[in-house]
Structure 1
Amino acid sequence: MTQQATPPAVLRAESLRGLCGGSVQLPGDPAYDMARSPWNLQMRDYPAAVCYPAFPDEVAEVLRAAGAAGLQVAAQGTGHGAPPLEGRLDDAVLLRTSAMTELEVDADRRTVRAGAGVLWGDLADTAGRCGLASRHPSSPDVGVVGYSLGGGIGWYARRLGLQCNAITAVELVLADGTFVRASADRDADLFWALRGGAAPLGVVTALEFELFPLETVVAGALAWDWADVEQVLPAWVAWCADVPEEATTSLRMIDVPAMEPIPPELHGRQIVMVDGAVLGDDAFAREVLAPLRALRPQFDTVARVPAASLVRLHLDPEGPTPAYASSTLVSDLPDAAIAGILEAVGPGSGTRLAAAELRQLGGALSRPDPDGGALSFLDGAYLALGLGIGGGSDQDWERQRADAARYLAAVEPWATGRQYLPMLDDRTDTRKVFPPGVHARLSAIRRAADPGDLFLAPHPEHARPENA
């Protein structure tokens, strides 16, 4: 019988055993397969080791040991953003930050301190008990750190802007094991780059950011049968052109799964849904939503609800799920674009996507924040997102990827040329994300913070400052 040789990277990773109070898993260990699996179960990666530090000093020990062993490091909280690293972890240590669950709300200062393992559902509930809200995402099991540093398009984004620009301090461990607390007054270049910059500059252990007073908000969903999309889509686009920035919505064409908390009468149906929130009093919200309600939705859940409940408004899957997402930023949706969308993913298209989505941007999202970070605004009126879920066989996933590509190709003539990385599972050149001057500055800061390339970058950085 032939005995398979242990990969050299795994042999070198043996030097990490005993770190993190013993919370280190190597290939062959009983808990290794569970430890290596991210939220996105489509990924099949086999890192040389998986470590679970609970404190910054344990992070520093892992980084020093990994560097000494000639291994790179990839930090993950939940693993929602794992796909761009697929196939690149064999010679790397996967550093899980899920044990860092410190969460403290300062109601007087309207701020929160959140460890790198905190999830948005927990933060929304904790802040809500203080009558406060955050610029949270559309899913409760997304990690606070990953979403915040990547940008963050929440249900109040057209009024308040990106979540990354609400950050007031970032605590992290650099490649050499140094602990840093970056803010506008200290390590300002690093603080700027961390907020939306996409490059791994260290292992973030905690964030502090602003909250805002909000106990209840008008929010919910309007839904029509899929056959009505030819009427609903152009009407929603026309509504978006003039609606106040107090409203932030999305439109989705979706196959409704049979799952809680989706109402049973929608299970198994293909529908077009507009969901979102309107900041303001009830009369203002009724006036804003009147043109959409005039389209006579078959299903209407819009009402005044606790602000903390909005983290589940979008009905995103909770718990580890196989998924694929691809997106692009779009400047406009004229009649030709709408016709292309309907042909690509509308009735009769044969699309296998779980959802074809358009997220409404504009408002504060379109205005550069003078005090913001590397990503201070989004260049586009909409974000077009194709989402595959479940998949099954490799052939099923290829079909969903092809359908997502067909959807995005339909709006490509109106694409801005910029991309939003948190909703993009494929690797992309970061020059497509940032303007040349911003990209050049980010590249210089990254080389200064990690001159030995200890950290694996999810997306390539092809441009040098002199060429950017």
Structure 2
Amino acid sequence: MNQVRANLPEQLTGKLVTPGDRRYAMLRSTYTTRANPAAVLLPETTAEVVAAVRHAREQGLPVAVRSGGHGLSGSASNDGGVVIDLSALNRVEVLDRRTRLVRVEAGARWAQVAQTLTRYGLAISSGDHGNVGVGGLATGGGVGWLVRSYGLTIDHVRAVEVVLADGTVLRADAEHEPELFWAVRGAGAGVGIVVAFEIEAAEIRTVGVAQLAVEASPDGSTLREWAGRLAEAPRELSTAVVLFPYGSSAVMQITAVVAAESPRRVRPAVAPLLEIGKLLEHRSDLVPYAALVPPAHLHPNVGQQPSLTTNGLLPELDEGSARAVMRTVTGPHRALVQLRSVGGAVNDVAPEATAYPHRHQSTLVVASVFPPQGGAALDAAFRDVARHTDGAYVNFESRPDRAAFDRIYPGETGRRVARAWRRYDPDGLFRPALLAERGRPERPGRRR
């Protein structure tokens, strides 16, 4: 503790939280992991982020960066190191209403972003929970409620402000620092701290939302019907599914969101979903987009949901993969399974355009286990599904090891990501565990 307090820059006075401080209990952990950092720094400006990076580096301790702390890997905190917490950098500003250009700081939560933008009739498709921080999601991908019509959040990032490990501040866009700009959109955790994003929002005020409960056959046929209806549906329709065991079968809880403001457009988009499986429950509403990521989601992240999660992307949900998903839900090695429709606007983007290369898949499959189950149980539950997957998404992976890196950033994408991480952070100050097994140098002064 004394080591972290030593030579603290004047501009960070009052912004260092250590054990014993009444604020520490609310800042030490993430959503999934309880942690015990030596200190948490709370910068409020880009200049203070620079000071925090330089000070943390001088301590020779592990460094974690947190925008919201909702990430499943728990990497936004650590034991015995320094956490740079960006929660005070939470401003949201509409730069140009005509072009829908919005500046969002990394520490804002998506509920705050939605509340601000709704006054302008704008929205950014950005995950499915209002407590998620902007920085983590907008550097990893962004599979949101409007994903098939809007694409990923990263697909609409137009510029970023980044603090590098040596304290340099860079603005990156398509014309300036293009390699940094490429890496930030999908693999941003390893290049530096993105403190602000300029994002092109969508012109959306109200959306149609349908909640359905459908009995799903154990042979996977109901899942294939769902996927088939999505393949034929207009891009306005995006869906998320949670599967729960239900006797020998399962229940599909489907949330369908239609990017349309008129019931006349919402009803025909949702109607085909009512014909799959045995319908148990159904309701539809028109709501403001902000209602999907409401302020009610906001809460401190104190390690309240310990879990392990992995995922994979399916080019199509065919007979084999649908059966495998159902076995994961109803078989002897059970996991909580969620499905996200992707495709649509996501697949309009060239695979090499960003560090998220997965531009031909249709479905994201996510599996989670909870204590006392651990990694072995998750691997056993997901093994059959994994055989059908082609790629994975960094934001739904709890164990960011070498194997995960190769699934998330396959082939040339992975080689390019590794080069960018080494170029912009040569000493590995921010380098995530995704490269820990690739033989890179230790962080300066890092203590095992």
Taking structure 1 as the reference length, the TM-score comes to 0.82
Change (3 A) 1:78 1:397: farther
CA distance 1:336–1:98, shift in 2 (3 Å): same
2:350–2:359 contact (8 Å) kept in structure 1: no
Report the alpha carbon displacement of residue 231 of structure 1 after superposing the two structures with TM: 6.2
**Structure 1 counterpart SS, 2:197:** strand
Query: 1:291 maps to what in 2?
Result: 272
Are the structure 2 counterparts of residues 253 and 318 from structure 1 closer, same or farther at C-alpha, using a change threshold of 3 Å? farther
What is the Cα deviation at residue 317 of structure 1?
A: 9.1
Matching residue's letter, 1:64: R
CA distance in 1, matches of 2:414, 2:148: 25
Given that residues 31 and 74 in structure 2 are in contact (C-alpha distance below 8 angstroms), is that contact kept between their aligned partners in structure 1? no
**Greater CA deviation, 425-434 or 232-241?**
232-241
Residue 71 of structure 2 is aligned to residue 96 of structure 1? no
Change in 2 beyond 3 A, CA 1:317/1:212: closer
Alignment of 1:173-322 (within 5 A): 173-224=163-214, 232-254=222-244, 271-280=251-260, 281-295=262-276, 297-311=279-293, 320=301, 321-322=304-305
Q: Take 1:360 and 1:437, find their aligned partners in 2: how far apart are those partners? A: 26
* Partner Cα distance (2:117, 2:39) in 1: 35
Paired amino acid for 2:399: D
Q: How far 1:110 moved relative to its partner? A: 0.8
Give the equivalent residue in structure 2 for 1:329: 313
Equivalent residue letter for 1:21: T
Query: Residue in 2 aligned with 1:50?
Result: 40
Tell me how far 1:291 sits from its aligned partner.
2.4
1:99-133 deviations in whole A, cap 9, x for unaligned? 11211124233121112221101111211111111
1:143 Cα offset (Å): 0.7
Tell me the percent identity.
28
What is the letter of the counterpart of residue 309 of structure 1? Answer: A
Contact kept? 2:43, 2:84, Cα under 8 Å: yes
Q: Deviations over 1:83-107 (max 9, x none)?
A: 2539x93453111000112111242
Q: In structure 1, how many angstroms separate the alpha carbons of the residues matched to 2:122 and 2:251? A: 33
> Using a 3 Å threshold, how does the CA distance of structure 1 residues 26 and 19 change in structure 2: closer, same or farther?
farther
Distance of aligned partners of 1:227 and 1:334 in 2 relative to their CA distance in 1, 3 Å threshold:
closer
For 1:27-47, what per-residue CA distance to the aligned partner results, in whole angstroms no more than 9, with x for missing partners?
44443333212222xx13222
Say if 1:139 and 1:318, in contact at 8 Å, map to a contact too: no
**Equivalence for 1:260:** none
Q: How does 1:7-156 map to 2 (within 5 A)?
A: 10-15=1-6, 17=8, 20-40=12-32, 43-81=33-71, 83=73, 85=75, 89-90=78-79, 92-106=81-95, 107-156=97-146
In structure 1, the gaps of 5 or more residues are: 1-9, 257-269
List per-residue Cα deviations over 1:355-405 (Å, max 9, x = no partner): 3111112222233348942225445221111134xx4xx5x243xx55543
- Does 2:348 match 1:364? no
Aligned residue for 1:168, secondary structure, equals: strand
Q: Would the aligned equivalents of 1:111 and 1:210 in 2 still touch at CA under 8 Å?
A: yes
Query: Kindly tell me: are residues 77 and 335 of structure 1, through their superposed partners in 2, closer, same or farther at Cα, counting changes over 3 Å?
Result: same
On the 8 A contact 2:204/2:259 being kept in 1, the answer is no
Q: Which residue of 1 aligns with 2:407?
A: 432
Distance 2:111 2:354 in 1: 25
**Alpha-carbon distance, 1:225 to partner:** 5.1
Cα RMSD between the aligned structures? 3.1
1:28-84 Cα distance to aligned partner (Å, 9 max, x none): 4443333212222xx132223211111111111122222222223211112122625
CA contact (8 A) 1:84 1:427 kept: no
Partner in structure 2 of residue 267 of structure 1:
none
CA contact (8 A) 2:68 2:108 kept: no
Displacement of 1:424: 0.8
**Counterpart AA for 2:285:** A
CA drift at 1:464: 8.9
Q: 1:303 to 1:118 in 2, by over 3 A?
A: same
Distance, in Å, in 2 between the alignment partners of 1:62 and 1:370 is 35
Instruction: Tell me if structure 2 keeps the 8 A contact 1:330–1:411.
Output: no
Q: Distance in 2 between matches of 1:72 and 1:246?
A: 44
The answer (yes or no) to whether the contact 2:219–2:322 under 8 Å persists in 1 is no
Could you tell me which of 406, 409, 421 is aligned with 2:394? 421
What residue is the counterpart of 1:342 in the other structure? 326
Q: TM-score, normalized by length of structure 2?
A: 0.85
**Contact kept in structure 2, 1:384 and 1:408, CA below 8 Å:** no
Measure, in 2, the Cα distance between the counterparts of 1:52 and 1:116.
13
The correspondence for 1:383, drawn from 345, 353, 364, is 364
How far the C-alpha of 1:230 sits from its partner, in A, is 6.2
The residue type equivalent to 1:362 in the other structure is G
Alpha-carbon distance in 2 for matches of 1:450, 1:31: 31
Aligned-partner Cα distance in 2 for 1:403–1:290: 38
The structure-2 alpha-carbon separation of the partners of 1:414 and 1:177, relative to structure 1 and needing over 3 Å to count, comes to same
Q: Tell me the SS of whatever aligns to 2:293.
A: helix
